[in-house]
Structure 1
Amino acid sequence: MKRILSHTNKMLMKTNRILTGGLAFLMLFAGAKVFSQEKAKPKPKSEPKAVTAPGQMVKPVKGGTITDPNTTPPQKKIFPYPILQSKLENGLNVVTVPYQSPGIAAFYIVVRTGSRNEVEPGHTGFAHFFEHMMFRGTDLYPKDKYGAVLKSTGASANANTSLDRTLYHMTGDANKLETMFMLEADRFQNLKYSIQGFKTEAGAVKGEYTKNSANPYTKLNEMIQNTAFESHTYKHTTMGFFEDIVDMPNQYDYSIEFFNRYYRPEYCTVIVVGDVTAEKVNTLAKKYFGQWKTGSYVSTVPPEPAQKETKYTNLQKAGFPPYLSMNYKGPGYDAKSNDFPALDILCAAYFGENSDIYNKLVIQEQKVRSIGGDSYTTRDPYLISVEASLVDAADFGYVRKEMERVLEEAKSKPIDGKLLQETKMNFRNSAIMSIDNPTAIAQNLSHFTWVSGDPEQLNNYFGMYDKITPQDIMRVAQKYFSPERLTIGTIAPTEKVTF
């Protein structure tokens, strides 16, 4: 769960790992991010041996949630508004959240297709590419006319792409909701572009890649994903492999095929939040999306083999702040597991600005500019990261050892009860403050829609926070933070980093 993002470059890198395009959305529920002070690179990441005192043994904690009489008492649902769902015959899911926002409505379409679905060699980057192409227009609403009609609703359309989805969104006049439905249904069913228009946009995507890659944090992120993964499509970023981007102008026919595969009702969810009723939303959905034909394509994402040893990658960059990124293979989203909430709390408690390691390395010793940890809720197993921006490259080995020392402590020593409760409450308060307008509500429901297919999982996820125990924190630390799950990425003035 992203918690504190106070350094522009760090936020940029991590955002580019997980999210490409338009609005870099506040992924409050997407993983744990706790960075402090000058934050540098943001980044989308065996049963270890517990460290104990000499002669002492600690068995790994096994199983799922462990109940404890000292856990936080059950609280009300984090999301206080009704989530009203209906499904059209063609498979399109329609979600309505009536909310007291007179005259305002947020309109979101979640396409559960991201770089994860780019399974065919030579064709990476197309999910992000269609984020661009979807604004090319249709016969009924060419690009300029689309913009003019949209303007009449008081809204502006935007989109962004991540590992697991593409998200289209606008917020405007609730009285013009039918116009929003009409415009979006038309382009989702009738998108049209010429070969020349396709090539023009492909050139723009190449330019975007070049610009992004000039940022060392973004480049390191790309290198980390490519190094950490062997078979799974999380190996490439949402931008895609550069060689595929270069060849994209020659892939017009494939682009049509990609659109016909994934821009289908069974891959999509419409979310409308604001001054609306479910009756009106469902009526408009059926009117404008009801004739949309269901597809038949299902992508098969290659499973990732078990990693057997620590991997390394380094970006040589003289005159740039040294950077250390420790990335452990983590879990995929599972509605029945509390691993992600436990990891969120672990990252916040052990690597946040109130943590012992922050006090030691940032304040007392001043060896790092920033330090933090974060996990991300993704559909498939991704990466849990612990990262630091160093003052001196000579301290790479020392800072790594300090990070590993803290992780070993998390495996073998129960978290302080007061710290656990404070961390839980911070998450709850942040969550409550993030659902105070239609756009924010739609954004957060979108996240659980793309990772699970069900926006109701928002309440389930946060309900688990109240039940996390010290034993849960130890269990996930033992489960995920081991050398054979680790990929280390660095930015250094030298060709190689010696630890």
Structure 2
Amino acid sequence: MFNYTFLSLLLLLVVGQQTAVGQAKGEVFPYKINQTQLPNGLNVVTVPYNSPGLAAFYIVVRVGSREEVEAGKSGFAHFFEHMMFRGTDQYSKEAYSNALKGIGASANANTWWDRTVYHMTGNAGMLDKMFELEADRFMNLKYSQADFKVEAGAVKGEYTKNYASPAMQLYEKTYDTAFENHTYKHTTIGFWDDVVDMPNQYEYSLEFYKRFYRPEYSTIIVVGDVTPERVNALAKQYFGQWERGDYQPQIPAEPEQTQTRYAHVQNPNFPPSLSLNFKGPAFSIDQKDKAALDLFAAIAFSQKSPIYKKLVVEEQKVRNIGAYGLDTRDPGLFSISTSLLKAEDMDYVKGEIERVIEQYKNQPADAKLLQEAKSRMRYSFAMDLDSPDNIANALSQVTWLTGNPADINRLFQLYEQVGPQDIQNAVRKYLVSQKLTIGTIAPAADSPFKS
């Protein structure tokens, strides 16, 4: 689901063609989306918004840990996000930071399975400087081997800090267990052995930059006190000479899962946890399965649901319970997760979750609850579109999934088309034991469900 999950038109075919997508009746995104594709394949998106003197500048690179197909190279997309702040001949790391301060801008970035996103918000009157700074590092990044090793140490420290948490350990084990071949098997930060070896991968880092930091992988999104004419002119001026690449990774296909798998973390001092993780569908604006499971989660496991009332409020056997399916370009996981008060209640809680799943397999969802869930989803999304940064962020999410920010309206149109029978069909298709990986944190040495 687009809005809940992240709590939790194809690219133009005619070179240089410009389009503007406005709001049609019933569309959830209320602003005109202007798109231009440069001859080198760079997509440029502009959304004028009434924010006097303020603009958000995003670059979405459709490269994440999904593209890390070579053995021993997991975590490189995230690592390279760090390297992108190391400077160029024209702007050192310190000079880049000072230039941002000089135009009243702040910059950051983040990486996930399917993308890396660079973003800044600042003075719209200094938009040309934003373009200059970003074009320089995207085309002319330069760092020493010593700088590379320093950053590799920082990433190792980040891994050590994050994965000290049993919850993060289970997250890592769950995906490692659920997937055999696909690169969703490793988390964004990478496998530990690969992180440890990163200081020795300087030459590969140069190859990674050469492969992926190319215009055909990238989309610029500018939102705020701007015009399409100004943005397009600056994009052509600063990014027009960016050379197109020719590398296309071959993402390994995931074989069909045929039996339940188990991921377990032993820890007697951490709250017991249980998650049922089913192989689910990829994000789609055409097929209903993912949208149907999103709406199933919103109905069956919301804070208004009977199981929440029973387990959290009345019986107080769990601290929380929820369901979600992360939006991914390839088939990922649909998860139902809960934190328990006592490990001995794990089997009972699992049985209650399974009872809800069976209920939705045996009868269609309630039409009234379904419509309420759709309305909440649209309202929540629309209410968050209140600043250039939030608008650019919303568009960036659908951009890295489909390549086209205008697909946001098609997504919500798809949600509207989902009926009770679609939910029943999706639950029957995906929420089955053959597609299941059970994740647990408990005092026992092994999973309490593994025979």
The reply to whether TM is greater than 0.5 is yes
**Residue 117 of structure 1 contacts residue 233 of structure 1 at CA under 8 Å; is this kept in 2?**
yes
CA 1:32–1:197 in 2, change beyond 3 Å: closer, same or farther? closer
Query: Which residue in 2 is equivalent to 1:153?
Result: 103
**CA contact under 8 A between 2:5 and 2:324: conserved in structure 1?**
no
Aligned position for 1:21? none
CA deviations on 1:402-422 (whole Å, 9 max, x unpaired) are 111101111111211221111
Per the alignment, residue 22 of structure 1 pairs with none
2-structure distance, mates of 1:393, 1:333? 34
Partner of 1:393: 343
User: Does the alignment pair 1:261 with 2:236?
Assistant: no
Which residue does the alignment assign to 1:412?
362
Residue 137 of structure 2 corresponds to residue 162 of structure 1: no
Q: Deviations for 1:291-337, whole angstroms, at most 9, x for unmatched residues?
A: 00000100000000000100001100111100001100011123211
Instruction: Return the match for 1:284 from 190, 211, 234.
Output: 234
Q: Distance in 2 between matches of 1:333 and 1:357?
A: 27
State the partner residue of 2:88. Answer: 138
1:30–1:390 Cα change, 3 Å = closer
Q: Which secondary structure does the structure 1 equivalent of 2:274 belong to?
A: strand
Q: Which residue of 1 aligns with 2:443?
A: 493
Q: TM-score, normalised by structure 1?
A: 0.86
- Does the 8 Å CA contact 1:29/1:444 hold for their aligned counterparts? no
Q: Deviations for 1:321-365, whole angstroms, at most 9, x for unmatched residues? A: 000011000111232112222111100100010001001111111
Q: Which amino acid aligns with 1:320?
A: F
What is the aligned partner in structure 2 of residue 350 from structure 1? 300
Residue 313 (structure 1) aligns with: 263
SS in 1 for 2:161: helix
CA distance in 2, matches of 1:357, 1:490: 20
Instruction: Name the CA distance, whole Å, in 2 between partners of 1:227 and 1:270.
Output: 36
User: Over residues 429-458 of structure 1, what are the superposed CA-to-partner deviations in whole Å (9 max), with x where a residue is unaligned?
Assistant: 101111111101100100110010111110
Contact map agreement 1:32 1:343 (CA 8 A) in 2: no
Q: Is 1:122 the equivalent of 2:72?
A: yes
Alignment match of 2:380 (pick from 412, 420, 430): 430
Check the 8 A contact 1:311/1:487 in 2, yes or no.
yes
Name the aligned partner's letter for residue 421 of structure 1. Answer: Q
Cα distance change of structure 1 residues 213 and 129 upon mapping to structure 2, 3 Å threshold: same
| Aligned equivalent of 2:3 | 28
With over 3 angstroms needed to count, the CA separation of the structure-2 counterparts of 1:237 and 1:170, relative to structure 1, is: same
Q: Is the 1:32–1:344 Cα contact (8 Å) retained in structure 2?
A: no
**2:25 and 2:279 mapped to 1: Cα distance?**
32
Report deviation, 1:468: 1.5
Write the distance in 1 (CA, Å) between the matches of 2:4 and 2:58: 17
Q: Call closer, same or farther: CA 1:102–1:289 in 2, change over 3 Å.
A: same
Question: CA contact under 8 A between 1:351 and 1:373: conserved in structure 2?
Answer: yes
Q: Which runs of 5+ in 2 are unaligned?
A: 9-23
Provide the C-alpha distance between the structure 1 equivalents of 2:7 and 2:305, rounded to a whole number of angstroms.
Answer: 15
1:99 correspondence with 2:74: no
Paired AA for residue 195 in structure 1: Q
Question: 2-side partners of 1:462 and 1:172: how far apart?
Answer: 30
> Within the alignment, does 1:334 sit opposite 2:284 as a pair?
yes
Q: Which runs of 5+ in 1 are unaligned?
A: 2-26, 34-73
Code of the residue aligned with 1:375 in structure 2: it is G
C-alpha deviation, 1:428, in angstroms: 0.8
User: Given that residues 28 and 378 in structure 2 are in contact (C-alpha distance below 8 angstroms), is that contact kept between their aligned partners in structure 1?
Assistant: yes
How far is 1:29 from its partner? 5.9
Is the 1:31–1:340 contact (alpha carbons within 8 Å) kept by the matching residues of 2? no
**SS of the residue aligned with 1:28?**
helix
Q: State the match for 1:226 in structure 2.
A: 176
Superposition TM-score, scaled by structure 2 size:
0.95
CA distance in 2 between partners of 1:374 and 1:341 (Å): 11
Matches within 5 A, 1:190-205: 190-205=140-155
| Corresponding residue for residue 445 of structure 1 | 395
User: Identity across aligned pairs (percent)?
Assistant: 57
Taking a change above 3 Å as real, the CA distance of residues 245 and 32 of structure 1, as seen in their structure-2 partners, is closer
Tell me: CA distance 1:462–1:337, structure 2 relative to 1, closer, same or farther (3 Å).
same
Q: Secondary structure at the match of 1:466?
A: helix
1:215 Cα deviation from its structure 2 partner: 1.1
Distance in 2, matches of 1:303 and 1:75, equals 40
- The residue type equivalent to 1:315 in the other structure is V
Decide which of 380, 403, 406 is 1:456's aligned counterpart.
Answer: 406
CA drift of 1:377 comes to: 1.4
Contact 1:105 1:171 (8 Å CA) reproduced? yes
Aligned partner (choices 40, 50, 55) of residue 90 of structure 1: 40
CA distance in 1, matches of 2:177, 2:301: 24
Looking at structure 2, the residues matched to 492 and 153 of structure 1 have their Cα atoms a distance apart, in angstroms, of 51
- AA paired with 2:3? L
Change (3 A) 1:187 1:212: same
Q: Which residue of 1 aligns with 2:422?
A: 472
Aligned to 2:193: 243
The answer for the alignment partner of 1:13 in structure 2 is none
Q: Say which of 61, 65, 76 aligns to 2:26.
A: 76
